[in-house]
Structure 1
Amino acid sequence: MDRALRAGVALYNAGEYHAAHDPWEEEWLELDAGRDRDFLQGLVQFTAAVYHAREGNERGAVGLAAGAREYLAPLGSEYRGVALDPVRAYLDALAADPTVVERRDPVALDVEGVALAVADLTFEEAALAARALAAEYDYDTDLLDRATEFGRADLDAGRATSPFVALVMDFAEGRNRALVYRRLSEHVDRREHEERDVEGLFG
């Protein structure tokens, strides 16, 4: 839950309003009814409202803003470290006038008082963000999953440096994403080839 929350917040704060909902939605689908589920549903609808307002779909933005407000209303001024009063205020402004997004940047999401950036994420959190961005920009999510598995294995093995960890995090941060993806693909191919060679020796 915390990883998904932080990954989505960082994506949202980076302006990836559409991709931000992916980590939250995957977690939300696994939850039973309750405050955590309502919280994530509210965040999903909040980011969707911002996205639709920016795309010019005013009716959709207003409906989503009202839905998000309803989900978040009973959760107090803060929930799971996320300050909700600024979110509610922005939702009210958005519902009253969806063109507010043209005059005023969407409110940043704070976790424990920090407006999280992708660079603030752990590897596991960045991997969730990277997967959401791969889906958003039509990269192969299976490749990102394999790279994440290799990065996790390198960390578990105590390797001080891992190209998979560095490149997955670079992909999430958006620096030269096409080039990073190409390098990830090359490293994944190389690691899979090495594993097949080992299996051939001992299989």
Structure 2
Amino acid sequence: MNLKKLWNSAVEEHNSGDYHEAHELFEDLWLELDERREKDTVQTLAQADALAVHIKTGNIRAAQRLMKQLPELVQTFPSSYNGIDLREMKVWINDMIANIPSSGEIKTVTGAVPPKLIKSRS
């Protein structure tokens, strides 16, 4: 599958709510990319979808493990990539970082469904 098709498939799966499949596709795309900034952007999306899966399935420990790398990745997360507006996703990731400590007990996670990936207005 070419990179554009892989990207479009990952976005489509994410927007349909199949975060597990989106995560897998973003990881496949990540493996194919060479440029560091692109890799970091796609890795952030892959981890965000993995986080959504872990929260949905109640695997809080796995969600907490993602909190070790996501805070660093989100610092360079762009406002758009490949024609997709990522601003709402960045807000969601930052909200999850604020609500899910990297260790300790968590009572509940609210707002655990990530936003859709919408085309940039340009």
Q: TM-score range by the shorter chain?
A: 0.7 to 0.9
Matching residue of 2:87: 85
Match of 1:43 among 42, 45, 68: 45
Shift of 1:44: 0.6
Normalized against structure 1, the TM-score is what? 0.48
Is the 1:93–1:100 Cα contact (8 Å) retained in structure 2? no
Matching residue of 1:110: 118
Shift of 1:108: 1.2
Normalized against structure 2, the TM-score is what? 0.75
Matching residue of 2:32: 30
Aligned partner of residue 13 in structure 2, secondary structure: helix
Matching residue of 2:10: 8
Paired with 2:57 and 2:29, the residues of 1 have a C-alpha distance of 26
The count of corresponding residues between Structure 1 and Structure 2 is 111
Letter of the structure 2 residue corresponding to residue 71 of structure 1: L
**What is the CA deviation profile of residues 21-54 of structure 1, one whole-angstrom value per residue up to 9, with x for unaligned ones?**
2222122112235111111111110100111011
Letter of the structure 2 residue corresponding to residue 80 of structure 1: N
Shift of 1:107: 1.2
Matching residue of 2:105: none
**What is the CA deviation profile of residues 35-88 of structure 1, one whole-angstrom value per residue up to 9, with x for unaligned ones?**
111111111101001110111122322332552342242243212222222112
Matching residue of 1:55: 57
**What is the CA deviation profile of residues 157-193 of structure 1, one whole-angstrom value per residue up to 9, with x for unaligned ones?**
xxxxxxxxxxxxxxxxxxxxxxxxxxxxxxxxxxxxx
Paired with 2:67 and 2:12, the residues of 1 have a C-alpha distance of 20
Is the 1:25–1:41 Cα contact (8 Å) retained in structure 2? yes
Higher helix share: 1
Distance 1:69 1:107, change over 3 A: farther
Paired with 1:97 and 1:112, the residues of 2 have a C-alpha distance of 28
RMSD: 2.1
2:110 aligned with 1:100? yes
Match of 2:70 among 68, 71, 84: 68
Distance 1:83 1:65, change over 3 A: farther
Structure 2 residue ranges without an equivalent (≥5)? 101-108
Larger RCO (CA within 8 A; separation ≥ 6): 2
Paired with 1:87 and 1:79, the residues of 2 have a C-alpha distance of 12
Percent identical residues: 30
Letter of the structure 2 residue corresponding to residue 112 of structure 1: S
Matching residue of 1:21: 23
